[in-house]
Amino acid sequence: MKKIFYILSLFIVVQLSAQKILTTEDWRNDLKFLQHKIHKDYASLFVKTTKTDFDAKIEKLHQDIPNLQEHEIIVRMTEIIASFEYGHTGIYFGLNPMKFHSFPFNLYEYNDGIFIEGVSKVYEKALGSKVLKINNIDISEALEKVKTVVNSENSQYFKAYGINYLTIAEVLHAKRITNTLQKTIELTLEKDEKIFQMEFNVLPKGESVPKKYSRIQQNEDWLTARDQNSTPLYLKQLDKVYFQEYLPKHKAVYVRHSKIRDDKSVNTENFYRGVFDFIEHNEVEKLVIDLRLNGGGNNYLNKPIIKEIIRSNVINKVGNLYVIIGRRTFSACQNLVNELDNYTNVIFVGEPTAENVNFWGDARPEVLPNSKIPVYLSFAWWQDKPAWENAEWIAPQIPVTMSFKEYITNQDPVLQAALTFKAENFIHKPMDYIRSLYDTNQLEKLATEIPKMIQDPKYSFFDFESELIKSGNQVSNYNPQASVQIFSFVTHLFPNSIIALKGLGENYLKIGSKKEGRQVLEKVIAMDKNGKIAKQARKLLKN
């Protein structure tokens, strides 16, 4: 038996160290090809990073290549592409010809920490453990180390997908979580109030953990921490793209929609036609559409969903339509969420989405000539909202997260929140309400209502300060007097907001109130001293 284990271990070591031989010049030519291709055909991706920074990273890697192992070069290339910060633009380690080595556990972040959600049966003792350290490095520090490798649009995308990079041997070494490319990794774990260490062996090259929607599917070789005696609605019938269930206690119809695709049994249009036919002929007061698992698909399938909702007098009311979103809500599903926000009276529940509101989507693979690595680069811009409404995500009006205990015991606090929320007098779009009061000159009501809303926990999802500042900036160029009004209101609500104070001072200067403008800008400088906003204030005073 020992001999068998020795042979298996030797096989793994050989796999880890076996390299396809490419010369330094080969890699440098690949890098040059990539640089030229992006500047020539994908320059529109330079939004969150600059051409200068991109070229500097390319040059640094060019110089470092002779001193790097193959997997380190690939990870460095991946970091360069990840710096564009678009989820569709990236290098993916699971694809040929550069499949990497995974460790046999699945990590998932809950509101009380990062846990081993699933694991190979060989390591059953670790199942359900909280992860404290990886190779004696705190888990939070390890996540920070791999963050630059992940093509994250926002922190939700990283929470959904970035955590997986801690299970890849090559990434752990490239980011110096391990000192060498190791066939084992030690985790420090906590379970049943006991802290212990466990060592895991790497899987064969290219072999992956059997996950579906970020969770292990239990079988004879793999275990999940979730109790298998029952299944919550959002994890039922995962073989289907969508399904519906009537919840008579709540007079609600629940729909789990996990891809923007047609199911093989019924297409999207006919499925939703059936849903609304049921609503029309039964005692239904509420529709819950669960998109928390939905990573996208075909954007053109969204239209019939929106049409059916708009057509329904029962559902398209504030308090009757709830949509669950989360860290996997991405791509064409972000488009669906945007359209729901634009055209219906939806209330979102759960976590923010994994995609920017407007984003670079569809990507084509550009294959590097020597290594044959496919680099996916986005070419299609999707814009469902005006530029000034762009944001890092769509946030829920009812923010709800899940603990590990809730997950493993099949509770669903997110769905429960949607089913039990009392929407009477709830303003689901605060900025629209504020604009309506301002446009109709209800300034006294504005002055009394908004401070109350800011203090109301129901509106904790809405960043009043940032959104009001954004409104002040929007009107600044064509109506600085109105901008002064808005910024005066914001500084009354948020007296320590240096950005709002800077906006107020700047617009005082625009309308010729130089004394007031100078006073406010000097206050900004005193508050921010040598900060970025203070520098802007000094520049305004000089001009």
> Per residue in 71-116, pLDDT tens?
999 999 999 999 999 999 999 997 767 789 999 999 999 999 999 9
Judge whether residue 380 has pLDDT over 60.
Answer: yes
Report the relative pairing of strands 113-120 and 137-138 from DSSP bridges: unpaired
Q: 219, exposed or middle or buried, with CB in 10 Å at 0-12, 13-18, 19+?
A: exposed
Is 396 found in the same domain as 293?
yes
Distances (CA, A) of 89 to 4, 77, 336, 517, 533: 43, 12, 20, 44, 32
Is 349 found in the same domain as 327?
yes
C-alpha radius of gyration, the chain, whole number: 26
Task: For residue 300, give the H/E element and its range.
Answer: none
- Range of 318's domain? 233-356+391-420
Among candidate residues 193, 224, 255, the one where a domain is terminated: 224
Is 334 found in the same domain as 201?
no
Domain count along the chain? 3
Answer whether residue 451 is part of any domain: no
290: Cβ–Cβ under 8 A, 6 or more apart, which residues?
233, 234, 254, 255, 256, 257, 323, 324, 415
Tens digits of per-residue pLDDT, 101-160? Answer: 999 999 999 999 999 999 999 999 999 999 999 999 999 999 999 999 999 999 999 999
pLDDT at 20: 59
Is 217 found in the same domain as 242?
no
Tens digits of per-residue pLDDT, 250-269? Answer: 999 999 999 999 999 999 99
Is 152 found in the same domain as 182?
yes
pLDDT at 8: 43
> Mean pLDDT across the chain, nearest whole number?
94
Is 239 found in the same domain as 145?
no
Strand residue runs (E) in 381-422: 381-382, 398-399
Is 413 found in the same domain as 280?
yes
Judge whether residue 523 has pLDDT over 50.
Answer: yes
Report the CATH number at residue 503: 1.25.40.10
Is 403 found in the same domain as 306?
yes
Judge whether residue 349 has pLDDT over 70.
Answer: yes
pLDDT at 70: 95
The mean pLDDT value for 499-516 works out to: 96
Is 281 found in the same domain as 198?
no
Is 245 found in the same domain as 205?
no
pLDDT at 97: 72
pLDDT at 98: 72
Judge whether residue 13 has pLDDT over 50.
Answer: no
Answer whether residue 49 is part of any domain: no
Is 514 found in the same domain as 405?
no
Answer whether residue 453 is part of any domain: no
pTM of the model as a whole: 0.90
The mean pLDDT value for 283-312 works out to: 98
Answer whether residue 256 is part of any domain: yes
Higher-confidence residue of 474 and 14: namely 474
Judge whether residue 66 has pLDDT over 90.
Answer: yes
Question: DSSP string covering 51-76, please?
Answer: HHHHHHHHHHHHHHGGGS-HHHHHHH
Is 283 found in the same domain as 186?
no
Among candidate residues 205, 224, 243, the one where a domain is terminated: 224
Judge whether residue 10 has pLDDT over 70.
Answer: no
Among candidate residues 224, 242, 267, the one where a domain is terminated: 224
Report the CATH number at residue 195: 2.30.42.10
Answer whether residue 90 is part of any domain: no
Answer whether residue 497 is part of any domain: yes
**237 falls in which pLDDT band (50, 70, 90)?**
very high
Asked whether the beta carbons of 385 and 400 are under 8 A apart, the reply is no
pLDDT at 18: 45
